[in-house]
A and B are shown apart, each in its own frame.
Chain A
Amino acid sequence: MCGINGIFSFHRASGEPKEVELISTRDAMRARGPDGAGSWWSSDRHCGLGHRRLSIIDLSDRASQPMTSDDGRLVIVFNGEIYNYPQLRVELEADGAHFRTTSDTEALLHLYSRDGANMVHRLRGMFAFAIWDEEQRGLFLARDPYGIKPLYTANDGWTFRFASQVKALLAGGQVSRDPEPAGIVGFHLFGSVPEPFTLYREIRALPAGHTQWIDLAGPREPKPFANLAEVLAKSAADSAAVVELPGRVRDGVLDSVQAHLLADVEVGVFLSAGVDSGALLGCMRDAGARDTRAITLAFEEFRGTSEDEAPLAARVCEHYGAHHVVRHLGREEFVEDLPAILEAMDQPSIDGINTWFVSKAAKEVGLKVAISGLGGDELLGGYPSFRDVPRWRRRFGAFAGMPGLGLLARELIGHVAPTFSRSRPKALGLLKYSSTWAGAYLLRRGLFLPDELSQVMDPEIAREGMRRLNPLERLGKILKPDPGSAVARVCALESAHYMRNQLLRDADWAGMAHSLEIRVPLVDFALLRALAPAIPSIVPGAGKAALAAAPAAPLPEKIVTRAKSGFGVPTGAWINAVSEQTSGRTGQQAEPKGVISRRWSQEVLKGAALTKRPFEVHA
């Protein structure tokens, strides 16, 4: 887990990049890698690479980056972990490779040397890396299939730049801050900025599961090498019976957890009273981890009430012989940390607060690596969307297909029941968006709907942003090829949209702000492949039940039952209080969560604007 960056002046008309820019960008990512820093320049000084290191595998200086191959042909900067590195090493050594470190970084160099761009198909893990190929005078970039690790690029036509963070690219001082309407619209629609867009036109994310090649002829369009929908679609024909689900989950999750324990430092776990993290802790024990430290975030407001997760989490710890660390959080600390949270957010996001505090707690006890249950809901049908999206498609899809009906209903209800229209804006969208899976999903996940954008931003930017973002087509592409079943479609949409653009990105900035590597065994392509045949058969509750039963000692029944009813978190109320203060809105009646999120999104965007240029925000 580290911060990487680079500059490549590929155009013959451009001069040499400046050392000061390389270092400014690199050191803007100090929190990502506090254990060391390095830089490297090609012999003609047209390509420079930078790296900030958080040492987790091979802690010695030999494993420092940028790392050069023995023959000097290849140089790499790498952020992430390759969990199948031991197997790859054995295979590469058998093919004659000579290793001088025990780091996974060196395995990437040997693998590229042997397989070239095809190397990406052999990797299991989370990764974003760049390899300079001196022989071909080009740069090879790759990002993992789920997009766990970030990688942003900027191409001004002469010079190509990349970094692990948007803010780091800006810190170099040479990348344009001109706004990207598609990124701004995307944030209003979803509460996070959908890749490949960012808030800045010149900066783009290398999409998850893509590689990119840049040489003297300039950057090529990113090429996909992994596609979630394809994995699900291929398995659709070969679907497994529902009875196979528990076995597949048990084997797959244990295998993934085992892989994710690879480290030369202690690996802890974020533990709530939910099924996902509890089952992972159980599987960690099955995989040989002992005395694991489990961090639970508890809230002062809930102390001693049935909403408090800490007592149940303590039972899980006892059950699996883990060492429990409970970190209490109060409103005061939340308010105190808020400016730092907004500063650490690489791009605006309406979530990530809990991850910030649990990461902070993990760092306080000296952990560098923590396992998280992120991804369980997407993989195993845990979200209400798995129920709602197919239901809306069934009930309203046929009506929504009729041209003009949605608009008519919207106008009619707006006149007849204006209060309903204001408090339930999405209900009006059912007849407009439910005709496609992408539309129904947009409705489910949407913060604001496209028709409402002009209320929160400049209408002209909204129009241009919608044209460039084209959200329905973009979501539709996630379902190509068709995953073949309702569950698999929602799984693909939740994984490739919400989880990728919101949850994983939040886990990255919130963890990295505390120099903590968050590992996500339930976000693993090998696990997806193993479960894919059984995913269509998942009915509500079955996925989580299978996960709870995955450890050799299954989660106690009480945990599973209690987890189903869910837990409250007061952060929503705190957020609301803060946004009420800043917006001057106080003492009004309780509002639905969605309305609070909408107001919070405006606060976040203003917060993002404090350190950048102001975006068009209409309060």
Chain B
Amino acid sequence: MRKPLSMLALVPDAYGGRGGIAQYNRDFLGAIAEMNIFSSITVLPRQTLDPPQPPQGVRQLRAHAGRFGYSVAALRAALVQPVDLVFCGHLFMAPLAVLIARLKGAKLIVQTHGIETWSRPSKPQRAAVEQADLVLSVSRHTRAAVLSWAAIAPERVLVVPNTVREMFTPGDGSAQRAVLGLGDKCVLLTVGRMHPGERYKGHDRVIAAIPQLVKRGHDICYLVVGEGDDRPRLEALAVQVGVSDRVKCLGATEPQTLSEIYRAADLFVMPSTGEGFGVTFLEAMASGTPALGLDVAGARDALGEGELGIAVSENEVPTAIARLLDEPKRNSGALAAATRARFGRETFAAGVSIVWSRLMEADESGRSTLAASLL
């Protein structure tokens, strides 16, 4: 007789949230929901920016931005319902998640994304990770960072990479090129926040490379999608190096428009030194547009170790851009298919299913409570 299973997800944001972490949490929770294992999946976010639209089988509670209010809401949610699995969507919430998991005798998964793991966390956060049944990381780099400070069996830290949404597919980018007045220009594209704290993304490096590319005969136009407080500084930089007419900051865009912009670009370039993964690389390649990044951190994974995208060192960026622009256009369909094979929804769902199967396996202490409840 199957006992109905309940899952509580503590996340910074998911449904109605923006950005990579919210997207990952939606993808993960959606994949879990599709497995039809849990009769109840309750999500408690810290914030929602847009109207939340959770899928069937997932219930999202009202957001609580303050730490105290969030903790009270989480404990309340845990007390009023059974909890068999706690999914902790961010390291910051791990101490609260482990407390709830212990109180309820539930299994605990802690999800790690990127930058939050790169320096040693607080002791309670570290202790929580060390007590988790499984720790998930979006990339091998993030996983290695976790293992550098957590004394946890390496086998319990799994990589479940980001996935790419179905809407990003190859197609004709000429309409968007016309809208943006790109003509026959060589179009470079970066999609990412322009935040003073995230200058590692590498917009500066692309802008600095433009003069030499132009000198070599490439009629460059650099599109920047995303918003952030660092935008004025980047625009000033473009003026300073004399390429302000070649840099277009488009701000935030609707997903559908973004998809068309990817298709319109000749090359997606994001020479970031600090990506936890770099989902925009996947979006570009799934749209059939070649992607260039640095062979460091999570970008190595997103670029498929150089087999999908192009992974180079920092000082090779200008020459690599020039070489890629000179090359004959690649088969966009093949690139998109190869990207989907390694990072598509199906692969992601298989990864989540593996997480579930690993959780079910009997651990050292014998048969897990989850496994027992399914018998």
Contacts and interface: CB of A to CB of B under 8 A. Distances in A.
Interface of A: 11-15, 155-158, 176, 178, 201-202, 204, 216-221, 467-468, 470
A201 B148 contact: yes
Interface string B335-371: 0000000110001001100100110010010000000
A155 B154 contact: yes
A157 B137 contact: yes
Interface in B307-357: 307, 342-343, 347, 350-351, 354, 357
Nearest to B355: A217
A219 B155 CA distance: 6
B193 interface: no
A157 B159 contact: yes
B140 interface: yes
A13 B140 CA distance: 11
Nearest to A217: B354
B140 A158 contact: yes
Classify chain B: how many residues form its interface, as a range: 20 to 34
Given A12-B342, A178-B144, 18 more contacts: A12-B351, A13-B159, A13-B161, A156-B140, A156-B144, A157-B137, A157-B139, A157-B143, A157-B157, A158-B140, A201-B144, A201-B147, A202-B144, A217-B354, A218-B354, A219-B154, A220-B155, A221-B153
Given A12-B342, A13-B301, A178-B144, A218 B350 contact: no
Interface string B133-174: 000010110011001100101111111010000000000000
Given A12-B342, A13-B347, A158 B354 contact: no
A15 B140 CA distance: 14
B229 interface: no
Greatest chain A CB density within 10 A among B161, B304, B343 is at B161
A91 B43 CA distance: 58
Nearest to A222: B155
Contact of A12 (B137, B153, B347, B357): B347
B305 interface: yes
Interface of B: 137, 139-140, 143-144, 147-148, 151, 153-159, 161, 301, 304-305, 307, 342-343, 347, 350-351, 354, 357-358, 361, 364
B159 A158 contact: yes
Contacts of A178: 144, 148
8 contacts: A11-B159, A15-B305, A15-B307, A15-B342, A157-B139, A216-B354, A217-B358, A221-B153
A158 B304 CA distance: 11
A218 B301 contact: no
Contacts of A202: 144
Q: Which 7 A-B pairs have the closest CB atoms?
A: A157-B159, A157-B140, A157-B143, A217-B354, A221-B155, A13-B342, A468-B151
Nearest to B351: A12
Contact of A218 (B144, B147, B358): B358
A219 B153 CA distance: 11
Contacts of B148: 178, 201
B2 to A, nearest CB: 22
B168 to A, nearest CB: 17
B151 A467 contact: yes
Contacts of B301: 13, 158
A201 B149 CA distance: 11
A206 to B, nearest CB: 12
A311 to B, nearest CB: 53
B125 to A, nearest CB: 15
A14 B159 CA distance: 11
B154 A204 contact: yes
Contact of A220 (B157, B161, B361): B361
Contacts of A217: 354, 357-358
